[in-house]
A and B are shown apart, each in its own frame.
Chain A
């Protein structure tokens, strides 16, 4: 297990024990983290699991691929940096302490 910290814009933190191999979206949904909806269940079809990856962690979480970019266009007006769809980030051992910021709304 590794610990992932989901942070609301209010500053409230949700530390969660995450199982490597599972997606960051599913980990959030299973642990009742607010604001991550995951309406499609993780098949990159809804764009409702947006997170902002903390700058210190972007290298480890990686860049979105073409399909994810095309879906992230839903959030084109959102000026935040580090936007990712969390169903596309798979938890790994090197993510111990990963910090993800939560949007106020997914739509």
Chain B
């Protein structure tokens, strides 16, 4: 049985700007040579739907690969490296379950529905602030939304957002595996770490105990001995970071996709049920996350041996465009009926904790934005983000008629 290290696999140039703009010509060509597996500069990339789905469940063989990210930058022993290796996603089994359980209650479908009114207030305020003119960069606008919602969930003031927004963006760039970004994201990590510490200290000294505020619940979990101090601070950072690029990029891509579908845009303004269908098809058509795993012991899958130590990336954006799972995958159809569900939130132990919150805020956001921004058109050049980590648009300049 061949090891994937010895196979003549196609190479996907994920770092190439042309790939970031449109990966599909490369992926279509790669599929001719192997239906679900390719190489990239740092390891292997799984792009077939069934393969990602199956492998994502093998948490015991394929642990989260943040150790590879740390190794890539050769910064073992730094505070950032400790965070990357000890945060929620880097754990597995009982430890993972314990830490995840400390916040799980705040992320149920019920809780996501309960915070919808707060989401509407946040987005309405943002729209009030941003629609005084008839144009803006939608990517920048969208960057304020998920983090403001998360502050609401945590029960903390949104005053800190200007201070940390850029730092979160910069910190996430560590996942693009670009060594030039290292000094900036280390600095950003220090800023975020201090911010998290200050937030916790403020809440503790105020003796706050709001049962709807997640940060108070986390502090209570620490006081009850369920989390230690470092885990509490790590968790707060994970929550701030994980919901940021993901939701912002999905919202921006949704705006972009609907620019040439004015009838759909109009319908989104009128019908939040239709918004839910649009978001679900966007998560299928243009999902953004590629996640890294690390092979902890040799194992076999579909006649392929995965060797210990290999870095394996699950490319959700590509798996969700696998024609074997989704016929005519590049067709965007909010009414699409499919036997398969997209992999945008992953599968298995590390399935996205915030998936219901994400869906709710994307639906509410789209519905209100479509009401306030009429006849949006592209008003300049768009820019694409690196494919690895959280893919999407870095800039989306639009012009529109502002509705009252």
Contacts of A67 in B (CB 8 A): 104-105, 108
Number of residues of chain A lying within 8 A (CB) of chain B: 16
* Minimum Cβ distance to chain B for residue A9 (Å): 16
Asked if A71 contacts B105 (CB within 8 A), the reply is: no
Interface centre among B59, B345, B356 (most CB of A within 10 A): B356
B106 to chain A, nearest CB (A): 10
The interface-forming segment of A36-44, A50-58, A87-95 is: A36-44
Contacts A73-B113, A107-B341 known; A41 to B108 CB distance under 8 Å?
no
Chain B residues lying within 8 Å of A1, measured Cβ to Cβ, are none
Closest to B57 in A: A41
The residues in B between 326 and 361 inclusive whose CB is less than 8 angstroms from any CB of A are 341, 345, 347-349, 351, 353, 355-356
Give which listed residue, A40, A70, A107, contacts B108 with CB less than 8 A. Answer: A70
Interchain CB contact under 8 A, B109 and A43: no
Shortest Cβ distance from residue A41 to the other chain B in the assembled complex, whole angstroms: 5
Which of A43, A45, A71, A107 lies at the interface centre, i.e. has the most chain B CB atoms within 10 A of its CB? A45
CB–CB A70/B109 < 8 A: yes
B97 & A70 in contact (Cβ 8 Å cutoff)? no
Task: Specify the chain B residue showing the minimal Cβ separation from A41.
Answer: B348
Chain A contact residues: over half helix, strand or loop, or mixed?
loop
Those of A68-94 within 8 Å (CB) of chain B: 69-71, 73-74
**B341 lies within 8 A of A70 (CB):** no
CB pair B111–A39 under 8 Å, yes or no, is no
A37 proximity list for chain B (CB < 8 A): 341
Which residues of chain B come closer than 8 Å to A71, judged between CB atoms?
A: 108-110
Query: Which residue among B57, B59, B348 has the maximum number of chain A CB atoms within 10 Å of its CB?
Result: B348
A2 at the interface (CB under 8 A from B): no
Task: Note all chain A residues with C-beta closer than 8 A to B111.
Answer: 70
Contacting residues, chain B, for A70 (C-beta < 8 A): 105, 108-111
CB-CB under 8 A from B347, the residues of chain A are: 39-41
* Complexed CA–CA distance, A46 and B349 (Å): 11
- Total interface residues on B, CB under 8 Å, equals 20
CB distance from B214 to the nearest CB of A (A): 14
- Asked whether, in the complex, the Cβ of B353 is within 8 Å of the Cβ of A45, the reply is yes
Task: Kindly supply a per-residue 1/0 record for chain A positions 11-54, scoring 1 wherever the CB is within 8 Å of any chain B CB and 0 otherwise.
Answer: 00000000000000000000000000101110111110000000
Please tell me if B100 contacts chain A, counting CB pairs below 8 Å: yes
Output the least CB separation between A81 and chain B (Å): 19
Complex contact B108–A73 (CB within 8 A): yes
Q: Does A74 contact B356, Cβ atoms closer than 8 Å?
A: yes
- Contact check: which of B97, B341, B345, B356 meets A43 at CB < 8 Å? B97
In the complex formed, the residue of A with least CB distance to B352 is A45
Bound together, the chains give a CA A44 to CA B356 distance in angstroms of 13
| Binary contact track B109-146/A, C-beta < 8 Å → 1, others 0 | 11101000000000000000000000000000000000
Known A41-B57, A45-B353, A107-B341; contact A73-B348, beta-carbon cutoff 8 A:
no
- Shortest CB distance A44–B (Å): 7
Tell me which residues from 199 to 225 in chain B have a Cβ below 8 Å from any Cβ of chain A.
none
When the two chains form their complex, are residues B109 and A73 in contact, meaning their CB atoms are under 8 A apart? yes
Residue of A nearest to B341 (CB): A107
Contact A43 B110 (CB under 8 A): no
Closest Cβ of chain A to B278, distance in Å, is 15
**What residues of chain B lie closer than 8 Å to A41, measured between beta carbons?**
57, 59, 347-349, 351
Which residue numbers of B lie inside 8 Å of A, CB to CB? 57, 59, 97, 100, 104-105, 108-111, 113, 341, 345, 347-349, 351, 353, 355-356
Q: Which 7 A-B pairs have the closest CB atoms?
A: A70-B108, A70-B110, A73-B110, A74-B109, A40-B351, A73-B109, A41-B348
10 contacts between A and B (CB under 8 A): A40-B347, A40-B349, A41-B349, A43-B100, A45-B104, A46-B351, A70-B110, A71-B109, A73-B108, A74-B356
